């Protein structure tokens, strides 16, 4: 695997499959399809040309000329003499592996064949010149041909460079938030990664050295996805009993979104994620939604830089609602967010990792692939890998991640879907934990998205919360959006606002009491009337989110304190814990 093939000035890795045939055991069979795919080959059968595209380098080959066999005009050879010559002169060449000979003698092959032909011609004319010819051939080989033994030794030393700048993908470098900067794992500022800007040169060198050990764990394009082994995890689509199939027609798309679908189809076909299909009992339509990229910074109305994920384009999705309604549900549990955040808080260093198109890394069982068929203006296709939109996809992915990192979770990392958080009490500890996680990713063929990975940072965003050594805080980017909301005008607006605000209810004291005027509007048979009381509750929740405190997670190794109070009308209690002689409130409760 990954045998370096020199084409022009470039080395291209190729996988060879060599089969030993029974009737001719010395003749290997070499399959060249993977090599053509790696080299970006475009084959023009009509004109007999092959173009190889390696980054900005393009090489052209004429197939018809390459297939012409070398001939020697005007000479007649006797088969008996040729057989004798083969036995006496060319036996040593048969001991050499033909593949090795092809790899090491590509540049001088034609010149060597020409000299061999000249020697054989002289040998046919005069057997007495045999010794002289052999000496001549040996001399020529010493001067012009490489020594096979030396080549064998040198070939064992030559290693495929995974960080070759010629194959480096073009990465779009965006403005990063304060505290982050780019580092490069390859020469000429190729293969970027995002690291803590406050790292020293020694710490940066150690981090880069560790990351360079795990090239297969970092993905820069869809071509880097190899896919998780089906033996480890395979997605199944099990239908309910007596469920009926559904075939839907394609939906209209405007020209801009139609071009998005076309590019996505071509990209997925090239990566082998989808394939054309002509017959399926299930057909679902596609639609296009906005897509968010990596974290960048934008200025708000107060001229503050807010880290946020901006919309960088559009994503093609499939509407699997009818298929999902007929699918038997997988009830595999997801972790409790609050408990996971509590385990993550109060560490000095973090590495926040994200899977590269995480769902696409899990294969679909061959019997269920046709159920994922979708229709678009360019035909009908089915998925080989698990797409977004399937109702059981989150459960399958979480089960797969738990099986991969089962012995590392709650010890050095936390996993929620395709968000992986590695932590450590010191730089050396976190770096060692990162190496273990990256090695596990390589072993299981799990690829991470370089653009969404932040290495050795002091804080970061996890599931809408900012995690740091201080504790748990709200995400300013989400709060910025909520504070700019206008008062709700419909029941749908009320439900949306309470849903977003309720996500941070642990940061707002007496949230249910404050939001009571708004929740009343969600009751049945209630006329929607946004009164002054509702407006005050709406404003108070927004103000509470802006000034939300930093929540300290409980330390289960320290004792807890309970403080109670009661009167004729109510009873209350506070659960707290002392850290550095200061009481930190964990929970409160009042009963009237």
Q: Along the 592 residues of the chain, how does pLDDT read in single tens digits? A: 666 666 666 666 666 666 555 555 445 445 466 667 777 777 777 777 888 777 677 778 776 665 554 444 445 545 555 556 556 655 555 555 555 555 554 444 445 455 555 655 555 555 555 555 555 555 555 544 455 555 454 544 445 567 776 777 788 888 888 889 999 998 888 899 999 999 999 999 999 999 999 989 999 988 888 889 999 999 999 999 888 999 999 999 888 889 999 999 999 998 899 999 988 999 999 988 887 655 555 666 666 656 565 666 788 899 999 999 999 999 999 999 989 999 999 899 999 999 998 899 999 999 999 999 999 999 999 999 999 899 999 999 999 999 999 999 999 999 998 899 999 999 999 999 999 999 999 999 999 999 999 999 999 999 889 999 988 888 887 887 777 788 888 888 899 888 888 888 888 888 888 999 999 888 888 888 888 999 999 999 988 888 877 777 777 778 888 888 888 778 888 888 887 777 777 777 778 7
CA distance 412 to 393: 26
CA distance 169 to 455: 21
pLDDT of residue 318: 93
Specify the pairing of strand 218-219 against strand 448-449: parallel
CA distance 490 to 481: 19
> So what CATH class is 180-472?
alpha beta
- Reported in sequence order, the residue ranges of 469-592 that DSSP labels E, i.e. its strands, are 472-474, 561-566, 571-579, 582-591
pLDDT of residue 230: 92
Q: What angle do CA 295, 301, 304 make, to 5 degrees?
A: 50
DSSP, collapsed to helix, strand or coil, labels residue 417 as coil
CA distance 413 to 436: 10
Q: Do 550 and 467 contact (CB within 8 A), yes or no? A: no
Q: Do 286 and 262 contact (CB within 8 A), yes or no? A: no
The residue extents of the domains of the chain are 1-68, 70-160, 180-472, 485-546, 561-591
Question: 307 φ, ψ to 5°?
Answer: -65, 130
DSSP, collapsed to helix, strand or coil, labels residue 270 as helix
The two tokens of residue 308 are 């946020």
CATH T-level fold of 485-546? Alpha-Beta Plaits (3.30.70)
DSSP, collapsed to helix, strand or coil, labels residue 562 as strand
Q: Is the four-CA dihedral 447, 452, 458, 462 of positive or negative sign? A: negative
């Amino acid at each position: 695997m990954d045998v370096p093939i020199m084409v022009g000035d470039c080395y291209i890795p190729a996988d060879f499959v060599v089969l030993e045939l029974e009737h001719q055991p010395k003749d290997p069979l070499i399959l060249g399809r993977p090599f053509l795919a790696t080299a970006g080959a475009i084959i023009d059968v009509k004109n007999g040309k092959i173009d190889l595209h390696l980054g900005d380098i393009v090489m052209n080959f004429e197939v018809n000329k390459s297939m012409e066999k070398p001939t020697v005009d005007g000479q007649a050879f006797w088969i008996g003499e040729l057989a004798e010559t083969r036995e006496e002169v060319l036996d040593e060449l048969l001991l050499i592996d033909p593949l090795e000979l092809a790899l090491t003698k590509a540049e001088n092959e034609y010149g060597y064949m020409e000299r061999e032909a000249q020697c054989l011609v002289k040998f046919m004319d005069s057997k007495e010149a045999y010794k002289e010819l052999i000496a001549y051939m040996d001399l020529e080989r010493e001067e012009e041909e490489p020594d096979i033994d030396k080549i064998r030794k040198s070939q064992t030393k030559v290693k495929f460079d995974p960080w070759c700048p010629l194959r480096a993908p073009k990465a779009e470098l965006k403005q990063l938030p304060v505290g982050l900067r780019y580092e490069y794992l390859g020469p000429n500022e190729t293969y970027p990664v995002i690291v803590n800007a406050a790292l020293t040169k020694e710490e940066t060198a150690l981090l880069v050295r560790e990351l360079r050990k795990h090239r297969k764990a970092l993905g820069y394009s869809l071509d880097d996805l190899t896919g998780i082994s089906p033996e480890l995890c395979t997605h199944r689509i099990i239908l309910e009993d007596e469920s009926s199939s559904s075939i839907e027609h394609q939906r209209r798309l405007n020209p801009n979104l139609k071009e998005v679908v076309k590019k996505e189809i071509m990209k997925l076909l090239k990566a082998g994620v989808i394939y054309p299909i002509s017959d399926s009992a299930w057909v679902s339509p596609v639609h296009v939604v906005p897509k968010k990229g990596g974290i960048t910074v934008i200025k708000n109305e107060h001229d503050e830089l807010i880290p946020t994920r901006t919309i960088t384009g559009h994503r093609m999705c499939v509407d699997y609602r009818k298929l999902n309604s007929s699918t038997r549900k997988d009830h595999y549990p997801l972790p409790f967010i609050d408990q996971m955040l509590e385990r993550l808080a109060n560490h000095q260093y973090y590495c926040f990792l994200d899977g590269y198109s995480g769902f696409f890394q899990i294969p679909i069982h061959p019997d269920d692939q046709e159920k994922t068929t979708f229709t678009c203006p360019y035909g009908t296709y089915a998925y080989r890998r698990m797409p977004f939109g399937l109702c059981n996809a989150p459960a399958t992915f979480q089960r797969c991640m738990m099986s991969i990192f089962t012995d590392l979770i709650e010890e050095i990392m936390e996993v929620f879907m395709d968000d992986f958080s590695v932590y450590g009490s010191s730089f050396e500890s976190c770096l060692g934990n990162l190496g273990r996680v990256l090695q596990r990713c390589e072993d299981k063929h799990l690829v991470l998205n370089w653009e969404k990975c932040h290495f050795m940072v002091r804080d970061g965003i996890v599931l809408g919360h900012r995690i740091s050594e201080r504790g748990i805080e709200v995400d300013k980017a989400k709060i910025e959006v909520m504070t700019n909301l206008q008062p709700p005008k419909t029941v749908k607006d009320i439900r949306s606002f309470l849903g977003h605000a309720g996500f941070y209810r642990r940061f707002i004291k007496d949230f249910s009491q404050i939001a009571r005027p708004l929740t009343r509007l969600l009751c049945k048979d209630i006329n929607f009337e946004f009164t002054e009381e509702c407006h005050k509750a709406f404003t108070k929740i927004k103000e509470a989110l802006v000034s939300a405190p930093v929540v300290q997670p409980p330390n289960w190794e320290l004792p807890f304190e309970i403080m109670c109070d009661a009167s004729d009308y109510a009873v209350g209690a506070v659960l707290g814990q002392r850290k550095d002689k200061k009481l930190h409130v964990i929970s409160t409760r009042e009963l009237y």
